[in-house]
């Protein structure tokens, strides 16, 4: 059930106020709109410990990331009952504080992120948070359509589009990077199996060297306009904040896309990963922890895809007999170097209109 409603902020003027950051604001929207269902608020201690240890809520329901509202210990003492959540001093929602408990940061880091290394962006964010978690159901005053009002849809709104288009099956694709030809290959293979594609780029907080959301969305728009079947593709932004929790985050990405109406979800290599903290296909293997029935969505697993100069097409290790010397593979670092130097990206790697969007964006940074 959605907890989004318009309200007069003056109604809560006498209640405690809590200024929240980008991640908590994103979590507030995901919780209130049903994107993080079955969660309806920031989780309590029993669920927190169960999620960390068992990848399930205390009642056994699959859920793999602690969605918490951390504050400082002194600040927590003054927060109880109905607390008004603010951004820049403007009221954006409420949390009904039902519980306060101590965060187990080291334990959470080890189990959720598989490391206590503060160089990991998710662990760094965890260590920087307050030591007390507030728990309770939330209310969002208004969906923050932000920079992408045309593409920013709640789960109910995405489901309505899917129903209106008559899609009986929909595959969702998570991305925080501009789409290149290997991604396109996965999409079109999947579209041979299902009725529609939900291209669902994450536009919440990411690490500093990721391509900005505005640039990514522009790249998606030019690509979809020229190379995808319009009636079978829907571009809609995913407002969650990135945690870089690898396998754990892949599960939440799948469960939330189920809430948006997807029947299938693509998981490729190193999904939601960063650095070398996770194995190449750990995010695929972790889904063996659950049955498809309890997940409520079918996982499509793809191996690494690349352009083979000898095959003359996009392939994977399943279909290409040639060794790495035949393959065109560009790392993210190499792509950024080329863009900063004003060089063109190979058309075998990314479509020219997408490359032009990226080139202009990087040129404007100089």
Task: Give the E-state strand segments of the chain in sequence order.
Answer: 17-19, 41-42, 69-71, 81-87, 90-97, 99-102, 132-140, 170-175, 196-201, 233-235, 264-267, 298-301, 306-308, 313-315, 327-328
Residues classed as catalytic: 176-177
pLDDT of res. 5: 63
The pLDDT-based confidence of 347 (bands split at 50, 70, 90) is: very high
Average pLDDT over residues 170-189: 92
Q: What is the DSSP string of 225-289?
A: HHHS-GGGEEE--B-PPP---THHHHHHHHHHHHHTT-SEEEE-TTTT--TTSS-TTHHHHGGGG
pLDDT of residue 8: 59
pLDDT score, position 6? 61
Question: What residues have CB less than 8 Å from 319, skipping those under 6 apart?
Answer: 311
Tokens of 47: 């669920």
DSSP category for residue 111 = I
Q: Phi then psi for 135, rounded to 5 degrees?
A: -135, 145
Q: Name the residue among 203, 246, 243, 200 with its Cα closest to residue 224.
A: 200
Report if pTM > 0.75. yes
Average pLDDT value for residue range 38-61 = 98
**Model pLDDT, residue 147:** 87
What pLDDT does residue 330 have? 81
3 state SS of 365 = coil
Higher-pLDDT residue of 244 and 210 is 244
* Residue 50 pLDDT greater than 60, yes or no: yes
Longest dimension (CA), the chain: 70
Cα–Cα distance for residue pair 163/166, rounded to 1 Å: 5
Q: Which of 15-29, 116-130, 326-340 bottoms out in mean pLDDT, i.e. has the lowest? A: 326-340
Strand-pairing partners, residue 132, are 71, 102
The DSSP bridge pattern shows strands 196-201 and 41-42 to be unpaired
Domain ranges of the chain: 9-140, 155-363
* pLDDT tens-digit readout, 56-89: 999 999 999 999 999 999 999 999 999 999 999 9
Q: Give me the residue label for tokens 């097409």.
A: 313
Report the alpha-carbon distance of residue 146 to residue 173 in Å, rounded.
21
pLDDT value at 312 more than 90: yes
Q: Is the pLDDT of residue 150 over 90?
A: yes
CATH number attached to the domain at 9-140: 3.10.400.10
Position 124 pLDDT exceeds 60: yes
Instruction: Inform me whether the pLDDT recorded for 209 exceeds 80.
Output: no
pLDDT at 1 > cutoff 60: no
> Do residues 71 and 134 make contact, with C-beta atoms less than 8 angstroms apart?
yes
The model's pLDDT over 226-262, given as tens digits with 9 standing for 90+, comes to 999 999 999 999 999 999 999 999 999 999 999 999 9
Residue 7 pLDDT class (50, 70, 90 cuts): low
Average pLDDT, the chain: 93
Q: Which three-class secondary structure state does DSSP give residue 98?
A: coil
Q: What is the CA radius of gyration of the chain?
A: 21
Domain 155-363 bears CATH identifier 3.40.190.10: no
Burial code (b: 16+ CB inside 10 Å, e: under 16) for 63-84 equals bbbbbbbbbeeeebeebeeebb
Average pLDDT (91-103) is 97
Q: What is the pLDDT of residue 252?
A: 98
> Do 155-363 and 9-140 fall under one CATH topology?
no
């Amino acid at each position: 059930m959605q907890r989004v409603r318009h309200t007069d902020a003056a109604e809560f003027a006498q209640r405690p106020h809590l200024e929240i950051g980008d991640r908590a604001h994103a979590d507030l929207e995901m919780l209130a709109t049903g994107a993080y269902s079955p969660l309806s608020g920031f989780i309590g201690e029993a669920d927190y410990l169960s999620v960390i240890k068992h990848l399930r809520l205390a009642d056994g329901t699959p859920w793999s990331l602690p969605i918490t509202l951390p504050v400082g210990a002194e600040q927590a003492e003054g927060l109880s009952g109905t607390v008004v959540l603010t951004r820049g001093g403007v009221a954006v929602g409420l949390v009904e504080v039902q519980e306060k408990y101590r965060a187990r940061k080291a334990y959470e880091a080890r189990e959720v992120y598989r490391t206590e290394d503060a160089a990991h962006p998710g662990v760094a964010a965890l260590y920087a948070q307050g030591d007390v978690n507030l728990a309770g159901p939330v209310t969002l005053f208004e969906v923050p359509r932000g920079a992408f009002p045309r593409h920013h849809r709640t789960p109910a709104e995405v489901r309505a589009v899917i129903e209106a288009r008559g899609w009986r099956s929909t595959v969702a694709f998570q991305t925080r990077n501009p789409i290149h030809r290997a991604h396109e290959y996965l999409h079109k293979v999947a579209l041979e199996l299902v009725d529609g594609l939900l291209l669902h780029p994450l536009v919440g907080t990411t690490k500093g060297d990721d391509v900005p959301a505005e640039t990514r969305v522009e790249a998606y728009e030019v690509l979809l306009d020229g190379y995808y079947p319009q009636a079978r593709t829907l571009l809609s932004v995913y407002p969650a904040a990135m945690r870089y929790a690898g396998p754990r985050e892949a599960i939440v990405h799948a469960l939330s896309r189920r809430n948006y109406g997807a029947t299938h979800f693509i998981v490729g290599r190193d999904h939601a990963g960063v650095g070398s903290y996770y194995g190449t296909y750990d995010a695929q293997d972790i889904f063996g922890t659950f049955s498809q029935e309890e997940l409520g969505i079918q996982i499509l697993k793809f191996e690494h895809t690349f352009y083979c100069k000898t095959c003359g097409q996009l392939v994977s290790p399943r279909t290409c007999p040639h060794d790495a010397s035949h393959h065109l593979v560009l790392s993210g670092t190499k792509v950024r170097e080329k863009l900063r130097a004003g060089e063109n990206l190979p058309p075998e790697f990314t479509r020219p209109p997408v490359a032009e969007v990226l080139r202009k964006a990087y040129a404007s940074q100089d």
